[in-house]
Amino acid sequence: MFHPFGKLYQLTTFGESHGAALGGIITGCPANQLLDLEEIQYELSRRKPGQSSIVTQRKEADEVEFLSGIFEGKTTGTPIGFIIRNQNQKSQDYSHNVDAFRPSHADFTYYKKYGIRDYRGGGRSSARETANWVVGGAVAKQMLPQISIQAYVSSVGEIFLEKPYQALDLMKTEENIVRCPDENTAQQMIDYIKQVRKEGDTVGGTVTCVIKNAPVGWGEPVFDKLHARLGQAMLSINAVKGFEYGSGFCGSKMRGSEHNDLFNPDGTTQTNLSGGVQGGISNGMDIYFRVAFKPVATLMQTQLTINQKGEKVEMQGKGRHDPCVVPRAVPIVEALSAMVLLDFKLIHQAFQ
């Protein structure tokens, strides 16, 4: 079963890593708005494989073709259909997987759930799907011109960017290939990823996201809280193991007298351990959160595993995979955030 992402701004998607194409349908995009298609393609290029030496070298142009919902450069209010053809399917790279379940991949669970799986690759569980999300998010971003959504890599393995986001110039994120806005830390991260890759290994990391200028009042009580929907969105990204916003896990160690954000007379707060959300509703302060990614499961090392008959088989590391996903995850985190925010904006408008 599939449930569209979002309630009013909705993204419904399809596609597998080795199928003919990915694609999606965006519904609930406001009408009569100019849409900059190059900007969308730019966001896709931030996510696409082969963009630098520390990501997978799979070759995909990731060109999006829009099929509906746009007329004379503007949105018409009707569904925006799009597809992204898969170019470099290179099935031969994956032939060793026909029968074997890759450890810590979804091969086993998909096979058990559906009784069939596309053994040429991750199929529907592949992170290629996230290209669709970047399209949906890039459209949403253009509908939120006043809001800035900026994600960056805040750790790779044990290398942490210790500075809080307020101390960073987030415009520098795109200046290096690991997407860490602190030059020195970025260089350490890049060197580390290269070393890990050389060893045929992979490594995890975290992405932090900061949203500025969201007005007071977005988010819905109880079961559609802004942070809960952001959390669900982030936990939908491949390899994500954790989500925290505001004070996060650290906040659980604190006392109320330290943690409370006292008000200024204008309704802003003196601190922002809340992370810009109170009771699930934005309070006008910066919204920020952090997302934890496990190391990529596909190694360039030999691993022992089992096949569909339960026999032990040796699996040779092959193909072109990311040694660390966080650099490419940055635009994905932003895209999902944009979609969640636009959705809540529309919901909020409905009741005004």
Annotation: binding site for NADP(+): 47
User: Residue 183 CB, nearest distance to a copy of itself (Å)?
Assistant: 22
**CA-CA distance, 311 to 79, in Å (whole number)?**
48
Site for a copy of itself in 95-134 (CB under 8 A): 101, 103-106, 108-110, 112-118, 123-125, 129
Residue 204 found at the interface with a copy of itself (CB under 8 A): yes
319 lies in the site for a copy of itself, by CB under 8 A:
no
Residues 274-303 interacting with a copy of itself (rule: CB under 8 A):
274-275, 277-283, 292-299, 301, 303
Cα–Cα distance, 34 to 40 (Å, whole number): 12
20 is an interface residue for a copy of itself by CB under 8 A: yes
Answer yes or no whether residue 213 interacts with a copy of itself by CB under 8 A. no
Q: What tokens does 39 get?
A: 């900007």
Binding window for a copy of itself (CB under 8 A); candidates: 43-51, 55-63, 174-182, 252-260: 252-260
Give the closest residue to 329 by CA, choosing from 195, 226, 199, 236: 236
**Residue located via tokens 């519904």:** 27
Identify the H or E element spanning 181.
none
Which residues does residue 314 pair with via DSSP β-bridges, in sequence order? 304
Tokens of 80: 């925006």
Q: Does residue 34 contact residue 54 with C-beta atoms inside 8 Å?
A: no
Q: Find the shortest distance in angstroms from Cβ 223 to a copy of itself.
A: 5
Interaction between residue 327 and a copy of itself (CB under 8 A):
no
Q: How far is the CB of 216 from a copy of itself (least distance, A)?
A: 4
Among 12, 56, 142, 185, binds a copy of itself (CB under 8 A): 12
Q: What are phi and psi of 54, to 5 degrees?
A: -105, 15
Residues in binding site for FMN: 124-126, 238-239, 279, 294-298, 320
Using CB under 8 A, which residues numbered 329 to 348 contact a copy of itself?
346-348
CB of 283 to a copy of itself, least distance (A): 5
Query: Binding of a copy of itself at residue 146 (CB under 8 A)?
Result: no
DSSP at 123: G
**77, 89, 177, 194: residue in contact with a copy of itself (rule CB under 8 A):** 77
Say if strands 80-85 and 287-293 run parallel, antiparallel, or are unpaired: unpaired
Q: Is 67 in the site for a copy of itself (CB under 8 A)?
A: yes
Cβ of residue 171: shortest distance to a copy of itself, in angstroms? 25
The CA–CA distances, whole Å, from 73 to 34, 38, 139, 349 equal 6, 12, 13, 25
Which residues, 6+ apart, have CB-to-CB distance to 282 below 8 Å? 214, 215, 216, 217, 218, 219, 226, 276, 344
Of 171 and 221, CB closest to a copy of itself: 221
Q: How far is the CB of 176 from a copy of itself (least distance, A)?
A: 20
Among 228, 286, 319, 320, binds a copy of itself (CB under 8 A): 228
Residue (15 or 181) nearer to a copy of itself, CB? 15
According to the binding rule CB under 8 A, does residue 269 interact with a copy of itself?
Answer: yes
Q: Is 32 in the site for a copy of itself (CB under 8 A)?
A: yes
* Piece in contact with a copy of itself (CB under 8 A), picked from 37-45, 169-177, 178-186, 222-230: 222-230
Task: For 339, list phi and psi in degrees, rounded to 5.
Answer: -65, -45
CB of 38 to a copy of itself, least distance (A): 18
φ and ψ of 20, to 5 deg: -70, -40
Write the burial class of residue 276 (CB in 10 Å: 0-12 exposed, 13-18 middle, 19+ buried). Answer: buried
Listed residue (138, 149, 143, 147) closest to 28, CA to CA: 143
Q: Does 92 bind a copy of itself (CB under 8 A)?
A: no
